[in-house]
Amino acid sequence: MNTTDLVIDVTGITKLFGDKTVVNAIDLQVKRGEIYGFLGPNGSGKTTFIRMLCGLLTPDAGTGTCLGYDVRNQQPEIKRHVGYMTQRFSYYEDLSIRENLDFIARIYAVTDRASAVQNSLECLGLANRSHQLAGQLSGGWKQRLALAACLIHSPQLLLLDEPTAGVDPKARREFWDEIHRLAADGLTVLITTHYMDEAERCHRLAYIAYGNLLARGTLDEVLASARLTTWTVTGPALPALAENLRSRDGVEQVVAFGNTLHLSGRDPAKLAAAVATVRDSRYDWKQTRSTMEDVFISLMDQAKDNFK
């Protein structure tokens, strides 16, 4: 990978809070124009890592650059060129959409502020609501306002921390369409998410659990690296079947998806043997490709909680 194409290029990034290692020696490279998904359970260190990238926290160890600026020594420069969307809506609910955007534009000393605000309103479909108070907006419209605010100063990198939590499926889809449009224009995006369908819309992925980076690559590479075999089964009395299967050697997880069970493990022979012990004509068994959710749960089960 040509290092001149890297917007994020960090090695060994580590953060401790007291005696707890919250982010443990993470390496990450993200290319220009890439949408990079950052996955992991709550408390895994994703937000802490993002805050180190955008200059809000200083790493305790490790080196690297974000947008060509040193993550340890050039934090003010990084902040000026990054758009950071936090998990919680963080704008003024008693100001209108336009007033919020104008305020953020002032903070960044945006030239021709009025034009920048109007352009942002139009690009994100907010023009007809520009005088509506932010506190009156639904989750999806608050999300649009937050994205517009992140983009008002024309950043080169977007860091989005679970930006679609709490919004409806239509708003999520529209948000992702906008992210892909921005990336096609050269903007780089690092996004944390718990939604597996969103993870599959990223160009590349990294999975972090309790501070440790466990997997990374394209969707196909992450699925392949898990080396997980999965069977699906449909039929009667699935809860009882699930309990039976969980005690079998080689069965690492049994998860219900509607009227289907997903049965997964890393040893194909042991898993097939477990299936054989309960297989009969009442059930329809199929060996299938493991999904991102199967892999996510498997990685989560393997990880060791660093706060225990």
Report CA-CA distances (Å) from 217 to 76, 118, 195, 226, 293. 30, 38, 17, 11, 16
Check if the beta carbon of residue 110 is closer than 8 Å to that of residue 121.
no
At 16, the pLDDT band (50, 70, 90 cuts) reads: very high
Least confident of 26-30, 54-58, 162-166, 264-268: 162-166
Average pLDDT over residues 111-126: 91
Check if the beta carbon of residue 196 is closer than 8 Å to that of residue 189.
no
H-type helices in the chain, by residue range? 46-53, 75-81, 97-107, 113-123, 139-151, 169-184, 196-199, 219-226, 238-246, 268-278, 292-302
Average pLDDT over residues 1-12: 82
Least confident of 133-142, 161-170, 205-214, 269-278: 161-170
Average pLDDT over residues 216-224: 92
Which pLDDT score, from 0 to 100, does residue 82 have? 95
Tell me, rounded to whole angstroms, the distance of Cα 215 from its chain centroid: 14
Average pLDDT over residues 263-267: 93
Average pLDDT over residues 167-171: 84
Which pLDDT score, from 0 to 100, does residue 7 have? 96
Report which DSSP code applies to 136: G
Which pLDDT score, from 0 to 100, does residue 51 have? 93
Order of strands across the sheet that contains 284-288: 253-257, 260-265, 229-234, 284-288
Report which DSSP code applies to 95: S
Average pLDDT over residues 191-205: 90
Is the confidence at residue 303, as pLDDT, over 70?
no
| 3-class SS shares of the chain: helix, strand, coil, % to 5 | 40, 30, 35
At 108, the pLDDT band (50, 70, 90 cuts) reads: very high
Average pLDDT over residues 62-69: 96
Average pLDDT over residues 273-279: 92
Tell me, rounded to whole angstroms, the distance of Cα 116 from its chain centroid: 28
Which pLDDT score, from 0 to 100, does residue 304 have? 63
Is the confidence at residue 308, as pLDDT, over 60?
no
Which pLDDT score, from 0 to 100, does residue 177 have? 92
Check if the beta carbon of residue 204 is closer than 8 Å to that of residue 36.
yes
Domains and CATH numbers, the chain: 3-223 (3.40.50.300), 229-289 (3.30.70.100)
90 vs 248, residue with greater confidence: 248
The pair of structure tokens assigned to 275 is 């299936």
Q: Give the pTM.
A: 0.88
Percentage with pLDDT > 90 across the chain: 70
What's the residue count for the chain?
308
| Cα–Cα dist 270/276, whole Å | 10
Least confident of 4-8, 9-13, 241-245: 4-8
| CB-CB neighbours of 288 under 10 Å | 15
Is the confidence at residue 173, as pLDDT, over 60?
yes
Is the confidence at residue 236, as pLDDT, over 60?
yes
Which pLDDT score, from 0 to 100, does residue 306 have? 52
Max alpha carbon distance in the chain (Å)?
72
Instruction: Classify strands 212-217 and 204-209 as parallel, antiparallel or unpaired.
Output: antiparallel
| Cα–Cα dist 189/31, whole Å | 9
Percentage with pLDDT > 70 across the chain: 97
Instruction: Classify strands 188-192 and 35-39 as parallel, antiparallel or unpaired.
Output: parallel
Report CA-CA distances (Å) from 36 to 150, 201, 280. 17, 9, 44
Order of strands across the sheet that contains 157-161: 82-85, 157-161, 188-192, 35-39, 204-209, 212-217
